[in-house]
Structure 1
Amino acid sequence: MQVINIGLLGFGNIGLGVYEILKNKCEELYKREGIRIKVKKILVRDISKKRSIDIDKSILTDKITDIVEDPDISLVAEFIGGEEPARQYILTALKNKKTVVTANKELIARHWTELESTARENRVGLYYEASVAGGIPIIKVIRESLQANNIFEIMGIINGTTNYILTKMSEEGRSFESVLNEAKELGYAEPDPTSDIEGFDPMFKLSILSTLAFHTRVHVENIYREGITDITIDDIKYGKELGYAIRLLAIAKKSGQEIQVRVHPTFIPLNHPLAAVRDSYNGIFIRGDAVGNLMLYGRGAGALPTGSAIISDIINACLNKHDHTYSTLCNCDWNQEKVYFNNNWETEYFIRMT
């Protein structure tokens, strides 16, 4: 029997979801995959904090070295979020020959080259399926199922918070502020919702998706970003009259050597599949030259959907520990000068005059 010892960095909602899935489905995973995954240590800020589940406190630690320097731990899963100290923790783990699984979209978007080159140099893996769209396996689809395609368009709803807000505004006629407060109460929005409502969260995710789809490093600085804070009930009402729904879309297009990447509120026809994506769900529309049109739909956030993606990465990493795969970018910007990022794109506009 193969036992894989792992360490968890962070024990918030996502870390808790991963731990519960591993604990409750240990025997199922063993029967299906032939491996037992054991959580040996969990990094937390406060060991004495009261938690929502019963857990052996001996596996909790507030010292990162207990995980990244433990020779028995071969895989580290990171749920801290943000750039630092997550970046330094992950780099240390990779340099100590430990594969890393992360849901950290900002870290991947901003430091992908450094992290993946470090993983390659140390012959370990870097897995990040959960960094985009929660439980939707969009990264695996692009990397493992669409290799025969030149992808020339991605258009998606990849932030559940803003989609929940726009859905409630549209269906219940409520103001932005009213629905935002409800979203905070329900846990769909953070106490500081800036990353979501101003479009930073989908910007990081679009950087990752467009980089993979176009085989070209798309930095966050290349992406136009606009949030939903200026959307009013009148905008939604007039859109319906014209046959449109408003969604915060992440859009990436490639034509020849020209790329445009943008995140902003968009009118989409009511009969378009993305117009039917409601509440906190995500939907991603892809166009490839061979496959044609594809759409993936599902829960884009939450402890269990995100935990599902993380555990899938953990299992794949364990089963392929001697044969990790990496992106086709060669961990450098060697082809960057061959493309042109068009920030002067043309589109139709809706102008409301009051």
Structure 2
Amino acid sequence: MAKKKIVVTGGAGFIGGNFVQYMVNKYPEYDIYNLDLLTYAGDLAKHKDIENKENYHFVKADIADREAIMALFKKEKFDYVAHFAAESHVDRSITDPGIFVQTNVLGTQVLLDAAKQIGVTKFVHVSTDEVYGELDFDPTTFFTEETPLQPNSPYSASKASSDLLVRAYHETFHLPINITRCSNNYGPFHFPEKLIPLTISRVLNDEKVPVYGDGKNIRDWLHVIDHCAAIDLVLHEGVNGEVYNVGGHNERTNLEVVKTIINTLGKSEDLIEFVADRLGHDKRYAIDPTKLEQLGWKPTYNFESGIAQTIDWYLENKCWWEQVISGEYKKYFDQQYSLNK
């Protein structure tokens, strides 16, 4: 009997990379294809432990390259698509919105055409809670799957656009799909332009940690391994055409997150440096994951256990993130936050 084939787009990135490892190790009976362009945020070093496994395969390609993607799907006849590939940094989307439209919208449309061409069993589109816009600080309000889409940044607008395309391919062409929308992820191999790994790496180097505005913006934090388990469940058990929110029930202000990391590492809060607020900075995100929990998912990490595991991982894997934050990334960081002028 032929092995089932799953293509994971963006499998050299943070969430997609963790998902590739999760699936390769959990399902030796599946062939897992990691499809990635290897942009600035993608690397294959994270896959050294699995790169020689028989059920792991890497393909370098741009999801917006129609000819390459159509040929690949026609050749391999994938059963499942887990679509993580995306430009995902809000700050970068403010600087250069065009690349976000190119990858997140046009790239998704190419993948949908390829999936439709070969008749996949399921296309799971991994999206974000940012498509819903922002919540106020009322702790009783949450995003649900019925919340209207009101994106506020070029990044979230591009993701909302791709969500609508996925929905349209289901409604028009009967493509079997699910859409998942997650809260902020954290954990191993998180690229150090995002809040948690940025803070860890800079605190360990005794460097100033930039905090936007007053630091009171609230995010709901989800450990990446819990997210991987959720995608696995939706891939296999999700009701065709449905949207599932994936949230961790771990709301913290950005300042609380930074202080937790600083205190855990035994450093001074004098390292905190407040910087000009981000344009269009959403106040709060918070997800109600009841629908997914009814499908059978529960997070295994709370924020305390998850952040402790994450800090330990960064302490044990300095060689990975020290390599990442050198060179071109450092130039970008200095330009973005203007800390070294």
Give the TM-score, by structure 1 length: 0.39
The structure where strand makes up a greater share of residues is: 1
User: Which protein, 1 or 2, shows the higher relative CO under an 8 Å CA cutoff with sep ≥ 6?
Assistant: 1
Bigger-Rg structure (1/2): 1
Give the TM-score, by structure 2 length: 0.41
The structure where helix makes up a greater share of residues is: 2
